Chain A
Amino acid sequence: MKIIVCIKQVPDTTEIKLNPETGTMIRDGVPSIMNPDDKGGLEMALSLKDQFGAHVTVITMGPAQADQILREAFAMGVDRAIHLTDKRFAGADTLATSNAISGALRNLEYDLIITGRQAIDGDTAQVGPQIAELLDLPQVTYVEDLQFENGTFTIRKANEEGYQMVQVEAPCLITVLASANQPRYMSVNGIMTAYKKEVEVWGFEQITVDETKLGLKGSPTRVHKSFSKGVKSAGQKYEVDPQMAVEIIMDKLKEKFII
């Protein structure tokens, strides 16, 4: 079984602070991490490797520093890492990103493609489904669990009410939730060898796609306006016993005609 996991480096939004005057994000000094949903997807792939000896490749598109998450993936146990980086990929919206990634995937063998549900910086949840469409693959989104037997994946897919059980045959694409599992830690030996392994750097020449579909040129998204969400004033704080707390909450809800 050959699995390709698409991962993205994102700012750790749990560490982001807002400038209280402008309300904008202070990005300086914010650490970069592997996107949590992608890490859940990577764990799912590595668990298939543990069970069935699957070959796992990770691929990311991003600037030079995105190499770090590929090393992290090596230290977690992946077999191959590909870094898509080229000036022609820059300024891509989700469609242009999906075009570049599927351009690379066309040149790779796979039975299963895994992406995270969405990235914590953009929260669009579009790239996974777009790649599936571009490669004409069946897709299952919001995956919580996956079992493999006799060439068929049996998948538990989350929805708003609960979950659905779905069966799909390879090749296919799934988008995974971070809550699907607890990703493994990098191993010490994995860390010691992560920088000795080769990350394959691919540019435009290595992928199969029309150049006009890439980067800013290939991005139909136009940002109409961007603004900071107003910073709310601090709420009122009460330190009271539970009975009193219930009364205060009830009064407030009535005051606002919620109940």
Chain B
Amino acid sequence: MNFSLTKEQTLFLQMIRAFVENEVKPLAAEIDEEERFPLETVQKMAQIGLMGIPFSVEYGGAGGDNILYSMAVEELSKACGTTGVIVSAHTSLCAAPIYEFGTEEQKQKYLPKLCSGEWIGAFGLTEPNAGTDASAQQTTAILNGDHYILNGSKIFITNAAYAHIYIVMAMTDKSQGTRGISAFIVERDTPGFSIGKKEKKMGIRGSATCELIFENCIIPKENLLGKVGGGFALAMKTLDGGRIGIASQALGIAQGAMDETVKYVKERKQFGKPIGQFQNTQFQLADLDAKIEASRLLVRVAAYKKDMKLPYSVEAARAKLFAAETSMEVTSKAVQFHGGYGYTREYSVERMMRDAKITEIYEGTSEVQRMVIAASLLK
């Protein structure tokens, strides 16, 4: 067991910390305030290979791994939760299922453009009546000659408004239940496909979260991803990987709030001394720091197991559960440490607390993570 950073990881952290400081942090408050998708940042990330970290060079990827990807999402999210989730959804929910389940033709067609960031990716599973109960899919896909016809809608889709490629689940045979769900690769300009309303959210407000609408949308047969009826399993496996991304995002937000708080309590004076000198502050910070580091280890273990091609579903659930709840606790306490200032938008902890909340909800709520963990204990 080795907890040291490799030379490559050390160099990567040096690079990405400079990138975040210069390119991500200065925009974080602005894109939140304006609810604006940071396309310019995505282009800069694309130039240096951040849109295809864990994929092989053969498909245009950077030739990194999931540990490096986890570090990237963490570092981006320290300054900006929005930027973190853009990379996470693109990588884990769109490029990864094509990489893992796609045919050679699909990989050759889509991965180079996704990895280079020329195309942004998204994923559509959730529907108005299929949230945690994702099996209750109402979107249908009917085979008609050499194509499928999709009808229905998806909601809360990260990156939706700026994506070019969507991985979409639809019911191909209702009588088969979850085994009647299939996955499809949908291109942006497909006839019958459109983007619906944009959500007004509490946090990650720069992320373009929208509805996807399918009205007799014609998908070529070869855009079926995986097997007919294999879509539900594909979606669940994809979300296992996604949880590494979201756990990393939660971890980054928590660490970002912690860093801001440590700086603040050294400077803020009350009763004649910096508030960091009160034992109440110190003990609380110590507890939060331990939880953040525990989150980090849980995330890295899940990423490591994925890299080693070992089962990692439970590890990813643990990491996401613990990192998300830690993130909410840390950011909420960070606001408390900042007092009235922390409640204003002048201080970034206010945004971080709003951004943290979603990590307990999307890509499987904390309750879903508990279900996954408990099921593995009691099987």
Contacts and interface: CB of A to CB of B under 8 A. Distances in A.
B8 A192 contact: yes
Contacts of B57: 189
Interface stretch (B10-18, B252-260, B326-334): B10-18
Given A188-B62, A189-B62, A192-B63, A75 B11 contact: yes
Contact of A187 (B8, B14, B18, B49): B49
B63 A193 contact: yes
A189 B56 CA distance: 10
A72 interface: yes
Nearest to A193: B63
B147 to A, nearest CB: 37
Interface in A197-253: none
A186 B11 CA distance: 9
A75 B8 CA distance: 10
Nearest to B50: A188
B53 interface: yes
B48 A185 contact: yes
Interface residues of A, number: 15
Interface in A14-33: none
Contacts of A193: 63
B48 to A, nearest CB: 5
A188 B53 contact: yes
B68 interface: yes
A153 interface: no
A38 B190 CA distance: 50
Given A191-B11, A194-B8, A185 B68 contact: no
Contacts of A156: none
Contacts, number: 51
Report whether over half of chain B's contact residues are helix, strand or loop; otherwise say mixed: helix
Interface string B4-32: 00011001101100110000000000000
Range, interface on chain B: 10 to 19
Q: Which of B11, B14, B18, B50 has the most CB of A within 10 A?
A: B11
A220 B220 CA distance: 77
A191 B8 contact: yes
A230 B51 CA distance: 50
B63 A189 contact: yes
B64 interface: yes
A189 B59 CA distance: 12
A195 B8 CA distance: 7
Nearest to A67: B7
B48 A71 contact: no
A130 B30 CA distance: 48
Interface in B56-114: 57, 61-64, 68
Nearest to B15: A186
A193 B56 CA distance: 12
A193 B57 CA distance: 11
Contacts of B68: 188
Contacts of A194: 8, 11
A167 to B, nearest CB: 32
A189 B49 CA distance: 7
B47 to A, nearest CB: 8
Contacts of A72: 11, 14
Nearest to A68: B11
A193 B8 CA distance: 8
Contacts of B63: 188-189, 192-193
Nearest to B63: A192
Contacts of A75: 11, 15
Interface in A140-195: 184-195
Contacts of A190: 49
Contacts of B48: 184-188
Nearest to A194: B11
A184 B22 CA distance: 12
Contacts of A191: 8, 11-12, 15, 64
B54 to A, nearest CB: 10
Given A186-B48, A187-B49, A192 B15 contact: no
Interface in B305-351: none
A184 B19 CA distance: 10
Interface string A53-74: 0000000000000000001100
Given A185-B48, A189-B49, A189-B57, A71 B62 contact: no
Contacts of B11: 71-72, 75, 186, 191, 194
A194 B63 CA distance: 12
Contacts of A195: 7-8
A195 B11 CA distance: 10
A192 B64 contact: yes
A187 B7 contact: no
Nearest to A72: B11
Sort A-B residue pairs by CB-CB distance and give the 9 closest, nearest first. A188-B49, A188-B62, A186-B15, A189-B62, A192-B63, A187-B48, A187-B49, A185-B48, A191-B11
Given A188-B50, A193-B63, 14 more contacts: A185-B47, A186-B11, A186-B14, A186-B15, A187-B47, A187-B49, A188-B49, A188-B62, A188-B64, A188-B68, A189-B49, A189-B61, A191-B15, A194-B11
17 contacts: A71-B11, A72-B11, A184-B48, A186-B11, A186-B14, A186-B15, A186-B48, A187-B48, A188-B68, A189-B61, A189-B64, A191-B12, A191-B15, A192-B8, A192-B64, A194-B11, A195-B8
